[in-house]
Amino acid sequence: MKAILLDGSPANDLTGERLHIILQAELQSRGWETESYLLRENNIGNCAGDFFCWVRSPGVCNVDDDNRLIAAAIATCDLLVYLTPVTFGGYSSMLKRMVDHQIQNISPLFAQVNGEVHHQKRYNHYPDFLAVGWLETLDPQAEVVFRHLVGRNRLNFYAKTAIAGLVHTGQSKAEMRRLAQGWLDDLAKGVSSTPVALPDRPAGIHAGDPPRRALLLVGSPRTKKSTSNSLGVYLMDQLMARGLQVETRYLYTTLRSKEHWSEVLQALDACDLVLLAFPLYVDTLPAPVIEALERIAAYRLTHPRPAPQRFAAIVNCGFPEGRHMENAVAVSAMCARQAGFEWAGVLALAGGEGVVHGTPLAELDGRAIPLMKSLDLAADALAQGEPISQAAVDLLARPVVPTWLYRLFGGFGWKQMARRYGAEKQLRRQPYQ
């Protein structure tokens, strides 16, 4: 039996170090062969969102770095372990960077799982799954979000048994060891953690004064050619028409530049309203977006803003059901709370990629009319210092494409893309098994 440990802890995290040592020792005492990856020491770039691992070199990421080595190890192991500080209810950006690359181990083609559209298996065998997160203080909301994310990952990565383990940094080594033994006992029995439902979306907060300046943060690797940009820029244009000054920044092109990131922080300090627009990546936010939010939250601890700032989000995903985005919505709201923002609400668009695909909304056909109406309503509310209205949320949540039609033509679309690279007959390739 082989176990792979992916450690997404930052340097000098004593809780992470303790848990890593404890889990590795417990696994080895039970006869497991273990292989550990301290992800901060690995060379792993961000997922580029190009889907080349599905249509150009099926099953293998286009970028030749350590993500390939780890993806191959995951494909041949019996137990996959995540170790991470709980970050806005989810995973650290360090861990999420590798999680995003795990899409190479599933197929682009579609299947129905528990009544939802998911991607098909690439391999016949997938490992059981243990995700262990730790928090400095008790936070029941964050714990529920974490457990929910683990449950969603279980579906997408086809784990027969999945455990969500939680630890508080004040617990002793003996207590952590007892918890670890319990998790491994449950895995041995094939007993998964009980699925949890997220609470209702948090209500937006009414502001005292209308905002004067808004900042759009686009969290897609496709930057100006992304659906996230199309939705966000349209909303910004509507806010500008209502008298606000607006500015747009692209997270993927700023994180690795001190100068550009400094400009983002300056823009953040100058605005009254922050709008985050991003695509869904493996059940929640993409790793670079999480990293940006980690940095913003840390910055706010040392640079508090005297006047309240508001935070809203727009998330989109390719799947036709909005349920896929529930965790991303919860993480966005959790981030707003932990970074000291006033929550102004969220819009979620399912199946929009097939309609928008980075095109300005005004250039699209009639299918974009409900999208624009929703964003118009959101602009009306946000410009007055009000939270995004339920009417705007409901309008954008309407199905863009029927599920049966999505499954039929979505699979055809992936085959067409693979044909361009001469890889259509390799879509089901299993390079790591």
pLDDT in tens, 189-230: 999 999 999 988 888 888 778 999 999 999 999 999 999 999
Neighbours of 94 (CB within 10 A): 24
CA–CA dist 432, 34 (Å, integer): 18
CATH number where 133 lies: 3.40.50.360
Q: Based on the fold, state whether residues 132 and 268 are members of the same structural domain.
A: no
Three-state SS at 274: strand
Residue 236 and residue 274 in contact, taking contact as beta carbons nearer than 8 Å: no
Q: Are residues 136 and 225 in the same domain?
A: no
Same domain, 177 and 252: no
Q: Are 382 and 236 in contact (CB under 8 A)?
A: no
- Is residue 260 located within the same domain as residue 391? yes
Question: Could you tell me if residue 412 is inside a domain?
Answer: no
Structural domain contains residue 406: no
Same domain, 255 and 334: yes
As a whole number of angstroms, the distance between CA 278 and CA 331 comes to 12
Q: What is the spatial distance between Cα 32 and Cα 144, in angstroms, rounded to a whole number?
A: 30
Answer whether residue 408 is part of any domain: no
179-197 residues labelled b (16+ CB within 10 A) or e (exposed): bbeebbebbeeeebbeebe
List the alpha helices (DSSP H) in 350-402.
369-383, 390-397
- In a domain, residue 60? The reply is yes
In the numeric block, which tokens belong to residue 72? 């191959």
Do 184 and 224 belong to one domain? no
Measure the CA–CA gap between 380 and 395, rounded to whole angstroms. 14
Do 181 and 239 share a domain, yes or no?
no
* 431 located within any domain: no
240 plus 130 within the same structural domain: no
Q: Which of 197, 235, 236 is nearest to 330 (CA)?
A: 197
128-135 and 162-168 strand pairing? parallel
Q: Is residue 317 part of a domain?
A: yes
Rounded Cα gap, residues 107 and 71, in angstroms: 14
- pTM of the shown model: 0.97
Q: How far apart are CA 3 and CA 81, in angstroms?
A: 7
Q: How many domains does the chain have?
A: 2
pLDDT tens sequence for the chain (433 residues): 999 999 999 999 999 999 999 999 999 999 999 999 999 999 999 999 999 999 999 999 999 999 999 999 999 999 999 999 999 999 999 999 999 999 999 999 999 998 999 999 999 999 999 999 999 998 999 999 999 999 999 999 999 999 999 999 999 999 999 999 999 999 999 999 999 999 888 888 887 789 999 999 999 999 999 999 999 999 999 999 999 999 999 999 999 999 999 999 999 999 999 999 999 999 999 999 999 999 999 999 999 988 889 999 999 999 999 999 999 999 999 999 999 999 999 999 999 888 899 999 999 999 999 999 999 999 999 999 999 999 999 999 998 888 888 877 788 889 999 999 999 999 999 999 8
| Within-domain flag for 194 | no
Q: Is 193 helix (H, G, I), strand (E, B) or coil?
A: coil
Q: What residues have CB less than 8 Å from 6, skipping those under 6 apart?
A: 37, 39, 70, 80, 81, 82, 83, 95, 98
In a domain, 200, yes or no: no
Q: Does 240 share its domain with 139?
A: no
Q: Which range marks the domain in which residue 262 is found? A: 213-397
**120, 249 Cβ separation under 8 angstroms:** no
Residues 226 and 99 in one domain: no
Helix (H, G, I), strand (E, B) or coil at 367: helix
What is the residue whose two structure tokens read 């262990």?
132
- Do 282 and 355 have their domain in common? yes
Lookup result for tokens 């250039």 = 363
pLDDT digits (tens, 9 = 90+) for 166-189: 999 999 999 999 999 999 999 999
376 shares its domain with 254: yes
Are residues 288 and 251 in contact, defined by beta-carbon separation less than 8 angstroms? yes
